[in-house]
Structure 1
């Protein structure tokens, strides 16, 4: 059986991908010419800057880690109660924010893996979940 819309198979295990996961993994690439350019309007004419006050610069990490979890309770139909937490971490996706390259448990995602992940994320992001 093929994985559902928000799922992808990794090493024989079906993993659920949330909209938040996809937003972290899929970098938006805007069309040329639509990227914000300070000091000019949409026609290229000069305008006053929208920045009224200096703000502190936020330092981003070089890499972001995303835990990948499987809900065993959901997967195996176990009843939910306070004594059992069904989420089990099966791995970690790390994303290099500069290059956009991702690894799963330290192994580079191959172009086939990336294509599968992007395709699933496109399906996840196409609906408001």
Structure 2
């Protein structure tokens, strides 16, 4: 009986075991980034049945390709941070406090990957247990 009284609080403090935790397909669908099925990507000038169609941009359109790396400087206005009056020499002064870089689906702040490692690990397990169909 004495051993039971000592062991019971330890069991309660330990919480659920990994075998007690279940992640549903619905939960995994929220974690895993969508990947479209092969063959369904957009094809200009063709409808869903492969028949030719007139382009929507009859004027020629634009061929702008976004950069592969996007750099976003993070700045603060010195006047706001230190309550500098509007008639001061430092009225429009800015200070760069960091840089955000976007590469594909990944975002970095000052070279550090932003994201949740635990969420990434769960998403990987979801991909293993619920492979795309």
TM range (shorter): 0.3 to 0.5
Q: Which has the higher contact order (CA 8 A, sep 6+)?
A: 1
> Which structure carries more helix by proportion?
2
Structure whose alpha-carbon radius of gyration is higher: 2
Taking structure 2 as the reference length, the TM-score comes to 0.42
Taking structure 1 as the reference length, the TM-score comes to 0.43
